[in-house]
Amino acid sequence: MTAFSWNFVTDLRAMWQYAFMRNAFAAGTIVAIVAGMVGYFVVLRRSAFATHALGHVGFSGAAGAVLFGVNPVFGLLLFTVSGGTGMALLGRRASTRDIEIGTVLAFMLGLGLVFLSLYNGYATEAYSILFGEILGISDAGVLLTLGAGVVVLAVIAALYRPLLFSSLDEDVAEAKGLPMLALNLGFMVILAVAISFAVQVIGVLLIFALMVTPAATAVRVTQRPLAALLVSTGIAVFSIWAGLFLAWYEQYPASFFIVATAFAIYLMVRGGQAIATRWVRPSFPGVGTDSSVGAESA
C-alpha cells in the first residue's frame, strides 16, 4: 500500500492494482448511479419507509440464501421483489401504509434471525448483510450488478414521464389514463432490484445513505427533475468514491465513510440554505405578490 498523495490519479492507480479495489469501484459506481436515480423517485413518492422496509425484508432473504448456500443476492432479490409487489398491491401509495408495512417488516426480521441462528458462521455473514461488504465483491458480482443496473436504468428511461407524473400528481395522472397499479408495481420492482444490489455495497442498515440522502439533497439544490436526477446521482457516486478513497488510507469500514460523505453533503446544503435565507435575504420582485396584495387590501 502506498501513502496518500494529493495526486489523485497516482492514488487511484495504486488502489486499482488490486482486483478487489477495482471491483469495489466498479460495482460501487453502478450501484450509486442506480440508487441516485431511483432515490429521486423515492423522495418524490414519499416512499422512504417502504425503502427502509424492503432493505430489512431483503435481510431475511440474504440470510435464507446463506443458510441454503446460495448467492445472497438471489435471496435478496426474491424477498425484496415479492415484498415490493405485495406493497404495491396493498395500496396506491405504499408510503401511507406505514402500519401494515411495519407489521410485516417486524416478522420478516424475525425470520431473518431464525435463518441466521440455523447457520453456524452467522456473525460475519450477518455483519456483511447489515453493513455491506464493498471490498468483497467478486468479478461475477460486478457483472451481475452491471446487468441489473443496465436493466433498471432502461426501465427508468422508458417509464420516466409517466412515473414522474404519477409520483407528483396522482389523481390527474389517473384521470389522464395512466395505469396507476402497473406503474406502482413497476416502480416497487425497480426499487427492490436497486436495493438488492445496494445492500452488497452499503448494507441493509445503511441503505438510506445511497437511496434517500443524495436525492433529498438534490431536491434542495435544484427544482428541475432532470437536473435533480443528475445531482442525486452525482452525490451518490461521489460518496462511494470518497468512501473507498478514505477507507483505503484509514482503517475504518468503507460503508461508514460512504454514509458520512453523503451526510456531510446533505448538511452542507441544508446549512448553506439556512444561512442564505437568514443573512442574504433576497427580494423577489414580481413573485409571490400575495403578501403585498394583502397589505394593500388591509
Partner 1 sequence: MHATVLRAHPSERPEIALRADHLEVAYRDRVVWRDATFQIRRGEFVAVIGPNGAGKTTLFRLLLGLRRPSGGSLEVLGEAPRRGNPRIGYVPQRHTIDNDTHVAADALVRLGYSGTRWGPGWHFQAQQEAADAALDAVGASDLAAKSLGAMSGGELQRVFLAEALVGNPEMLLLDEPLSNLDLRRSRELVEVVHGLVRSRDVTTLLVAHDINPLIECLDKVIYIANGNVATGPPETVLTSASLTELYGVPVEVLHDSRGNIVIVGGENPHE
**Distance, CA of 39 to CA of 229 (rounded, Å):** 9
| CA–CA–CA angle 189, 191, 193 (5° rounding) | 70
Part of the chain binding partner 1 (CB under 8 A), chosen from 118-126, 166-174, 234-242, 246-254: 166-174
Does 287 participate in binding partner 1 (rule CB under 8 A)?
yes
Spell out the residues 6+ positions from residue 259 whose beta carbon is closer than 8 angstroms to its own.
202, 206, 209, 239, 243
Part of the chain binding partner 1 (CB under 8 A), chosen from 14-22, 27-35, 119-127, 287-295: 287-295
Residue 202, H or E segment? helix 180-202
User: Which residues ranging from 216 to 235 are in contact with partner 1 (CB under 8 A)?
Assistant: 219-220, 223-225, 228
Q: How far is the CB of 176 from partner 1 (least distance, A)?
A: 5
Closer residue to partner 1 in complex, CB, 100/170: 170
How much helix, strand and coil, in percent to the nearest 5, is found in the chain?
80, 0, 20
Residues in contact with partner 1, counted by CB under 8 A, come to a total of 34
Fill in the amino acid letter for 285: P
Does 162 participate in binding partner 1 (rule CB under 8 A)?
yes
- Are the beta carbons of 216 and 226 closer than 8 angstroms? no
**Grid coordinates in use for 97?**
401504509
Work out which of 12, 71, 174, 230 binds partner 1, going by CB under 8 A.
174
Q: What is the CA radius of gyration of the chain?
A: 21
Fill in the amino acid letter for 212: V
Does 158 participate in binding partner 1 (rule CB under 8 A)?
yes
User: Which residues ranging from 32 to 91 are in contact with partner 1 (CB under 8 A)?
Assistant: 44, 46
Work out which of 48, 90, 111, 164 binds partner 1, going by CB under 8 A.
164
**Distance, CA of 49 to CA of 98 (rounded, Å):** 7
**Grid coordinates in use for 37?**
436515480
CB atoms under 10 Å from CB of 153, counted, come to: 16
Does 286 participate in binding partner 1 (rule CB under 8 A)?
yes
Work out which of 30, 66, 94, 173 binds partner 1, going by CB under 8 A.
173
Closer residue to partner 1 in complex, CB, 7/223: 223
Closer residue to partner 1 in complex, CB, 69/285: 285
Part of the chain binding partner 1 (CB under 8 A), chosen from 15-23, 59-67, 120-128, 285-293: 285-293
Half-sphere exposure of 153 (CA within 13 A, CB side): 16
Work out which of 14, 178, 185, 230 binds partner 1, going by CB under 8 A.
178
Closer residue to partner 1 in complex, CB, 104/219: 219
Does 297 participate in binding partner 1 (rule CB under 8 A)?
yes
**Distance, CA of 73 to CA of 6 (rounded, Å):** 37
Residues at the contact surface with partner 1, assessed by CB under 8 A: 44, 46, 93, 157-162, 164-165, 168-178, 219-220, 223-225, 228, 286-288, 290, 293, 297
